[in-house]
Structure 1
C-alpha cells in the first residue's frame, strides 16, 4: 500500500468518525430527554456544543501541527475524542454531557483540518479531483447511514452505546496513524503562537455561533443582537490584526487565491443554503401538506442518487472542463430545484422527487468542484492554513443557512398567518435567490482551456 493511499484512508476514517458523530445522535434525542430530564433547548445544545468545539479549535490546529508534528497531533486529537466519548457515555446529567460534548468537538476540530491538509498535500494537483470524489462519497454515505445505525443502538442497547461505540473507532484510527505515518521530525517549528489573533478568532466564531443559536428564539432577541455585534467587532479586529501579524493564526491572505475564495463562497451559499431549504421543506411537507416524517425523509433518496451521479461526473469532468462550467451548471440546476418547491408541483409526489433530485445534482456539482478547485493552486507549505479556512467555512455554512432561512420563514408566517402555504413558497423563492449569490465570483474565474477562443 502506497504512503499516499495510507494517508487518504486515515483522512477518510477521521472524516467518517466526525460525520457519524454529528448525525448518529439524532436518533437518541428523545431517550436522552427522558433519562436526563433535558429541555428542548438543552437538546439543541448537544449539536451546538460539538459544533462550537469544532469551530473554535480549528484556528489553533495549524500552529499545533507545525509545533508538534502532524502525526502526533492526529493521535492526540483521536485520544481526546475517545476520552470525551467515554465521558459522554458515562454522563449522569445533561450538563456533564454538554461539557464532554464540547471536549469531543475540540478533538474532532483538530482531527479533520490536519488530515485534509496531509491528504491534499500528498496528492498531485491532477489527482485531487479523484480524492475529492472519495471525500464527497464519504460525506454522502455516512450521514445517510448513521441515523439508522443510531436508531438500532438506541432501541436494542442504549443511547450511551452511540457514544461508546466511537471509542474503538477512534483508537483504531489512532493505531493506524501511529503505524502508517512517518515519525515527525524532532525539530519542529518554534514560531510563537499568535495569541491575540487566536483570542479574537475564538471570540468571533463563538459569538457568531451563540448569536445564531439564539436568533430562532424570540425571547432571546436582545442576546442574539449583542452576540452578533460582538462577533462582528471581533472579526473586524482580527482582520486588522492579521494584516499586520507575521504569522497570523488564520492566514486571510490565502483569500487572494480566486479558486479558494470562490469555493468558500459556493460552499457557504449552495450546500449551506440546502441545509436551510431541507428544514423549511420538512416543515412545509409535514405541517401544511400533511406528509409523514417517513415520507419526508424518503425524499433524501432521490437527492442521494443524484448527488452520487454529480460526484462521479465531477471526478472526470473537472480536469477537462475546469470549475467554471461545473459551477454554472450546478447553480442553475440547484436554483431550478429550489424554485420547483415554490410551485404547485411541490404538492405532488413527482414534483417533490424532481425538486430534491435537482437539488442533489446541482448542489453536489458545486460542492465537488469547489473542493477540488479550492486546493488546486495552494502551495503544499500552505495547505494547513487553507484547510483551516475551508473547515471553518464548512462548519459555519450549515448553521448560517439554517438560521437565515428559518428567520425568513418565521417572518413570512407572521405576514401570511391566514395562508401558510404562501409563506413557504416565498421562503423558497428567497432561498433560490440566495443560491445565485456566488455568480459574480464564478464569472470572474478564468475561462477553461476547453472553451477558450482559438486565436488565428
Structure 2
C-alpha cells in the first residue's frame, strides 16, 4: 500500500469514528435519561456538548500543526478522543457525561481538519474527486449504520455500550497512525501563540453555538438573540485581528479564493438545510402521519441509496463536468424532494415518501461531494491546515444553523396555523432555501475549474 493510501485510510477511519460518535448517542437518550435522571433539556447537551467541543477545537488545529507537526497532533487528538470515550462510558452523572462528551468533541475537532490536510496534500487536484467521494461514502455510512448499531448495543450492554463500541476502533486507528504516519518537522516553531485571537475565536464560536442551541429549543428567547449578537461581535473582532496579525490563529485571507467561498456557501445552502429539515420531517412523519419511529427511520434507506448513487456519479464525472452542473442539478433535486413532502397527506403513501427521500439523497450528496471536491483546488499545500479548519468550522455551523432555523420557523408557524399547514410552509421555505446557491453557480468560472482538473504532463 502506498504512503498516501495509508494516510487516506487513517484519515477515513478517524472521520468515521467522529461521525459515529456524533450520531450514535441519539438513540441512547431514553436509557441515559432513565439511568442518570436527566431532563430533555439536559439530554440535548449530550449531543450539543460533543458538537461544541469539536467546533471549538478546530481553530487550534492549524496552529498546533505548525508548531508540533501533523503526525503528533493527529496522535494527540486520537489519544484524547480515546481517553474521553472511555471516561464517558463510566460517567455516573449527566454533568460528567457532558464534560467527557465535550472532551471527545475536542479530540475529534483536532482529528478531522489535521487528517484532511494530511490526505489532501498528497493528491493532485485532478485526483481529489476520488478521495472526496471516499469521504462522502464514509459520511453516508455513519448516519445510516449508527441508529441500528446503537439499538443493538443498548439492548446488549445498556447505554454505556454506545461509547464502549468506539474504543476498539479508536485504539486500532491510533496504532495505525503511529505506525504509518511519517514524522515531519514542524513548519514554524518561532511564532508565538496569539492568545487574544484564540480567545476571541473560541468565544465567538461558543456564543454562536450556544445561541443557535437556544433558538432551536422550544422557547426562543431574547437571550438567544443576545448571545448571537455577542457572538457576531466577537467574530468580527476575531476576523479583524486575524487579518492584521502576521501569524494569525486562522488564515482568513484564504477566503479571498472564490472557489473556497463558493463551496462553503453551497454547504450552508444544501447539506445545512437538509440537516435542519430532516429533523422537522421526522417530527412530521411521526406526529402528523402516524408512522412509528422505526418506519420513519427506514426512510433513510432510500436517502442512503440516492446518496450513494450521487457520490459515485460525482467521482466519475467531476473532472469532466466541473462543479457547476452537478451542484445546480443537486439543488434542484433536493428542492424537488422537499417540495414533494408538501403533497403527502398520509403515511400510507410509501412510494411518494421513499421518492422524496431518495431525491433529497441524490440532490444533497451531488452538492456536498462536488463542493468537497472543489473546495481546495486553488489552495497551496502549505495552506491546507488553515483551509481545512475553515471548511470544518463552516460545516459544523451549517448543521447548527439548519436545525435552529427550521425548528424555530416551525415553532413560530405552529403558533399561528394548524400543524399540517405549519409543516407544509416549513417544507416550502426549506425547498426555496435549497435553491439559494443557484445564482452563485452562474457566477462560477466552471471552465477555469475544469482546466485545474487536467493532469499535468510529466516532463522528462
* Shared fold (TM-score, shorter chain, > 0.5): yes
Which residue of structure 2 aligns with residue 388 of structure 1?
389
Q: Retained in 2: the 8 A contact 1:36–1:94?
A: yes
Counterparts in 2 of 1:252 and 1:440: CA distance versus 1, 3 Å: farther
Counterparts in 2 of 1:143 and 1:217: CA distance versus 1, 3 Å: closer
Shift of 1:257: 1.1
Which residue of structure 2 aligns with residue 60 of structure 1?
60
CA displacement, residues 67-89 of structure 1 (integer Å, 9 cap, x when unaligned):
11111111111111111111111
Structure-1 separation of matches of 2:438 and 2:253: 22
Structure-2 separation of matches of 1:47 and 1:87: 16
Which residue of structure 1 aligns with residue 339 of structure 2?
339
Q: Retained in 2: the 8 A contact 1:85–1:100?
A: yes
Which residue of structure 1 aligns with residue 439 of structure 2?
440
Which residue of structure 2 aligns with residue 29 of structure 1?
29
Q: Retained in 2: the 8 A contact 1:54–1:107?
A: yes
Structure-1 separation of matches of 2:380 and 2:279: 38
Which residue of structure 1 aligns with residue 40 of structure 2?
40
Structure-1 separation of matches of 2:149 and 2:99: 24
Q: Retained in 2: the 8 A contact 1:57–1:109?
A: yes
Which residue of structure 2 aligns with residue 409 of structure 1?
410
Which residue of structure 2 aligns with residue 252 of structure 1?
252
Shift of 1:189: 3.2
Equivalent residue runs for 1:350-365 within 5 Å = 350-365=351-366
Which residue of structure 2 aligns with residue 137 of structure 1?
137
CA displacement, residues 133-183 of structure 1 (integer Å, 9 cap, x when unaligned):
100000001211122111111111122122123222222211111111112
Shift of 1:97: 0.8
Q: Retained in 2: the 8 A contact 1:129–1:372?
A: yes
Equivalent residue runs for 1:205-284 within 5 Å = 205-217=205-217, 219=219, 221-284=221-284
Shift of 1:288: 1.3
Structure-2 separation of matches of 1:340 and 1:301: 17
Which residue of structure 2 aligns with residue 91 of structure 1?
91
Which residue of structure 1 aligns with residue 204 of structure 2?
204
Counterparts in 2 of 1:448 and 1:325: CA distance versus 1, 3 Å: farther
Counterparts in 2 of 1:346 and 1:369: CA distance versus 1, 3 Å: farther
Which residue of structure 1 aligns with residue 457 of structure 2?
none
Which residue of structure 1 aligns with residue 296 of structure 2?
296
SS at match of 1:448: helix
Which residue of structure 2 aligns with residue 397 of structure 1?
398
Q: Retained in 2: the 8 A contact 1:334–1:362?
A: yes
Structure-2 separation of matches of 1:360 and 1:322: 20
Which residue of structure 2 aligns with residue 146 of structure 1?
146
Q: Retained in 2: the 8 A contact 1:321–1:448?
A: no
Structure-2 separation of matches of 1:423 and 1:227: 27
Counterparts in 2 of 1:218 and 1:253: CA distance versus 1, 3 Å: same
Structure-2 separation of matches of 1:218 and 1:147: 24
Q: Retained in 2: the 8 A contact 1:340–1:346?
A: no
Equivalent residue runs for 1:114-125 within 5 Å = 114-125=114-125
Structure-2 separation of matches of 1:335 and 1:346: 21
Unaligned runs of 5+ in 2: 452-460
CA displacement, residues 273-300 of structure 1 (integer Å, 9 cap, x when unaligned):
0011111111222111212212211111
Structure-2 separation of matches of 1:424 and 1:180: 50
Structure-2 separation of matches of 1:170 and 1:374: 28
TM-score normalised to the size of structure 2? 0.95
Shift of 1:243: 2.0
Structure-2 separation of matches of 1:335 and 1:393: 22
Equivalent residue runs for 1:305-344 within 5 Å = 305-344=305-344
Q: Retained in 1: the 8 A contact 2:216–2:403?
A: no
Structure-1 separation of matches of 2:130 and 2:433: 29
Matched, 1:173 2:177: no
Counterparts in 2 of 1:186 and 1:286: CA distance versus 1, 3 Å: closer
Matched, 1:374 2:375: yes
Structure-2 separation of matches of 1:160 and 1:451: 49
Shift of 1:219: 4.8
Q: Retained in 2: the 8 A contact 1:304–1:360?
A: yes
Q: Retained in 2: the 8 A contact 1:69–1:188?
A: no
CA displacement, residues 171-223 of structure 1 (integer Å, 9 cap, x when unaligned):
22111111111123278532122222211111111001101111134556132
SS at match of 2:221: helix
Structure-2 separation of matches of 1:51 and 1:171: 22
Structure-2 separation of matches of 1:333 and 1:86: 42
Shift of 1:427: 0.7
